[in-house]
Amino acid sequence: MSDNDTKKPTGDAQTPPKGAPTDSPAAKVGSEPSNPPAGAKMDTPPVAASGPTGTPPPKPAGGPPPKPQPKNPGFVTAVVDGKEVVVKPGTNMIEAAKQVGSEIPYYCYHPRLSIAANCRICLIEASNAPKLVPACQTPMAEGQVIKTTTPKVKEQQRAVMEFLLLNHPVDCSICDQAGECKLQDYYMKYDYRPSRLEGTKALKTKRKVLGPRVVLDQERCIICTRCVRFMNEIPKEPQLGVFGRGSHERIDVFPGNELDSNYSLNTVDVCPVGALLSRDFRFKARSWFLSATPSVCTGCSRGCSISADWMSQDTYRYRPRENEAINKSWMCDQGRLSYKDLNVGRVLAAQVGRRTGPRDTVQPALTRRDAIVAAGKALKPLVGSSQLAVLASPLASNEDLLAGLTFAKVTLGATAVFVGGRPQGQADHYLMTADKNPNRQGLALVAKGLGLTVKPFEELTAAISAGKVKALYAVGTEVPVDAAGFAEVAAKLEVFVAQAQNESPVTAQATVLLPASAHIEDEGTFTQQDGITQRFRKAYPPKGDAVPHWKWAAELTRELGGEAAHTSAREVWRAYSAKVAEFAEFNWDKASPPDREKPGINPLPSGADGRPPGYREFGAPRVRGI
């Protein structure tokens, strides 16, 4: 064995060819190569020379280009379709494009869900990428230039739409999503060509009931997986999954289970097509015949911001509305279905006299004025009496409570208020609370501001049973106990003036019954459990002879000789809210939610005749029908 066999290889076993770059300057042979390697490594680097002032020599040419300095430190400055945009680091291209008015289509992307990047319709051109990049998944970079309307991008969008519609049944005429479907919108905008499919389409299960509130049409599904990601990430109840492969891939529940989450109807909201549908709303109304009004859910004390969809004088559904401080983009199923009390079982006409039992003394239909006269006649002898009690419901708005309790204190001489409302229910792990009353916090604040003592409902029942209370004025007749049981107690009252929204055994015992409008039929505010006050708008005129609680209170005040000049909820707020210190910072006018959301982000149903949502009905609605 020679000595060379034990030496480590150095890579210099062969003489490099003429002009080849090497690590050692001594190995250079011939002239300097025209393309020297960038940053060649040296065994013995030369001593750095310095000038008279000690400045280092300039860096050799070559190497990666220097990273551009941010034009706006702390932010990312880029160009979208020729327009400069400044965004926070990490902002994806879809959100950045929205800021300059450029629309990038998407199906699978949702700003509150994880990124899947599987629909591929959001691919666009970027200056720092050789191929098209998914805009939902790619964050903006400093100095980046992206283009969303080039021929290459448009052809990609058209191809994706053709692929998504390849096996789609195209049954828009019977689909509940028609009018709100992104497949329809994007087909008209990015494809608009007939199908080139030769042969039959892949058939899947239609009308599959996933649970008590959701039905699935697998043929319409485009496998965007929004519903799967929502159930996994928001309520953290993974009840949906993706099964199968290829063109037979489908969304479904796990074997032996069902979609029974209290947040299951949110999957209908996030579904961009007509695959997931609400069993409650299905086949009830077309979206283009519905108007949408910003409102507040009254299902519990959370007070989720919602959009109420309605036609004529009927509410058809609730949908969640963006509110970062309360419900983000979601709402529970129990709150969604609470709209039904607005349509059925309403008190629509004033009545004088009890309607049930041996003391049935109900009189024929009366006008509002006749009812006010009867109520004033019954209450006037009891002004200032300890036998007169006041009951207030936490389902009434702040404006209703301000006017109603002011009337009770100033005109009737009351010093305390008993709190009614719905009974306690179950809470869940996310949004739904056990308190099923939307304005309990507002009632407490109003009573405190007016100097009224708040008493529990149980004391009222005991006082009536003991004969200490013989007359009752009620702003709302919801009670936290069995309604039939309290109706037996209320039958002992000599005077029972009730302002009520819905009929119940309690309203049947009212000696004077005044029909009250629902929150959807007037404007006002609620204060939810965390002390956040929210405005809601009026959707449609009140049904029948119903008017808001504050209006009944004003008419009763004038009937008993007091002064009440307010003629709107806004005037009630301006007149009485100063008495409540917690309302001082709330600007009633500026807090009004917009009548419609920004187009292109969360589009609301639009009118087939071009009128925007919420402006389709003026004055008394037309007779329902198409």
* Residue type for position 512: V
> Can you name the residues that pair with 453 across neighbouring β-strands?
416
Tell me what percent of the residues of the chain surpass a pLDDT of 70: 82
pTM for this entry: 0.82
Number of other residues whose CB lies within 10 A of the CB of residue 563: 9
3-class state of residue 419 by DSSP:
strand
Residue 164: count of CB within 10 angstroms of its CB: 22
d(CA 273, CA 227): 11
Which residue is it, tokens 């405005």?
535
The answer to whether 558 touches 328, Cβ cutoff 8 Å, is: no
Residue 453 · residue 584 · CB < 8 Å:
no
Least confident interval from 32-46, 309-323, 413-427, 455-469: 32-46
| 473: helix, strand or coil | strand
Q: What is the pLDDT confidence band of residue 485, given thresholds at 50, 70 and 90?
A: very high
The per-residue pLDDT for 361 is 67
Query: Cβ contacts of residue 333 below 8 Å, gap of 6+?
Result: 213, 261, 262, 263, 264, 265
Q: Of 499, 464, 509, 497, give the one whose Cα is nearest residue 360.
A: 509
Query: Which pLDDT value is given to residue 620?
Result: 37
CB atoms within 10 A of CB 569: 24
117-174 confidence digits (pLDDT tens): 999 999 999 999 999 999 999 999 999 999 999 999 999 999 999 999 999 999 999 9
- Report residue 312's pLDDT band, with 50, 70 and 90 as the boundaries: confident
**For residue 295, is pLDDT > 60?**
yes
Bridge partners for 471 per DSSP: 388, 495
Residue 93 is predicted with a pLDDT of: 96
**Domains of the chain (ranges, CATH numbers):** 79-159 (3.10.20.740), 173-178+199-278 (3.30.70.20), 364-423+435-583 (3.40.50.740)
Tell me the average pLDDT of the chain.
85
The two three-digit tokens of residue 370, written as one number: 């006749």
Per mean pLDDT, which range of 251-260, 448-457, 548-557, 605-614 is the poorest? 605-614
Q: Are 417 and 391 in contact (CB under 8 A)?
A: yes
The lowest-confidence range among 36-45, 258-267, 326-335 is: 36-45
Least confident of 25-29, 116-120, 549-553: 25-29
Mean pLDDT across the stretch 60-70? 66
Compute, in degrees rounded to 10, the torsion defined by CA atoms 269, 273, 279, 284: 100
Which tokens sit at 325? 């401080």
Q: What is the pLDDT of residues 356-414, one digit of tens each?
A: 655 566 666 688 899 999 999 999 999 989 999 999 999 999 999 999 999 999 999 99
Residue range 560-595, pLDDT digits in tens: 988 988 899 999 999 999 999 999 999 998 888 876
In the prediction, which pLDDT does 618 show? 38
User: Residue 346 in contact with residue 375, Cβ under 8 Å?
Assistant: no
The least confident of 25-29, 221-225, 242-246 is 25-29
3-state DSSP call for residue 171?
coil
